[in-house]
Structure 1
Amino acid sequence: MAPPPQQPTGSNVGDRASGRRVPPELVDDLIGEILLRVEPVEPACLVRASLVCKPWRRIVSDPAFRRRYRAFHRARLRVRVERDALEWHQRSSLVIW
């Protein structure tokens, strides 16, 4: 009788059922896309993410990632600032002296 097939071991990311492995570059790109969507209102989240492991720290500290992060969130930040300014103006105009 043949021994049962061995299960893959190790920390390689991939489809274990088929035995295929995802290249680390692809995993880094995916992690970068996920971290790109972390809201800028909580900058501590990116700091915490950078402490998870060295590859994540490398992604977060990469100047290209920071440029993409600013570009991705710029439109949202601009809308938020304009909305906050409008709310402040409306509140200040309600004050009766």
Structure 2
Amino acid sequence: MNTEYANSHPYVGMWVTADGYIRHELLPKGRYDEARGNRKSAYQGKYTIEGNHIEYVDDTGFTADGDFIDGVLYHAGMVLYLESKEGGEQ
């Protein structure tokens, strides 16, 4: 992965619910991978961001959206937080 490109947008990274059950990895180049519990890659697809709004289209055609407000992602009734990019866990 090109680190310079990956860090070019502040929302690229791993977003998680407080309990860690839902994990949205916003990948560079507009792809995402969502894990739920022990199920890795439960959903995958494309995303676009305009301003603080995100639109998701999974690979089956299902759509969803969300908003980034004060460093928090609000998506489909969920609240997700960006994991620290320090520590090498990404």
Q: TM-score, normalised by structure 1?
A: 0.24
| Structure with greater strand percent | 2
Higher relative contact order (CA 8 A, sep 6+): 2
| Structure with greater helix percent | 1
Query: In terms of Rg, which structure is larger?
Result: 1
Q: TM-score, normalised by structure 2?
A: 0.25
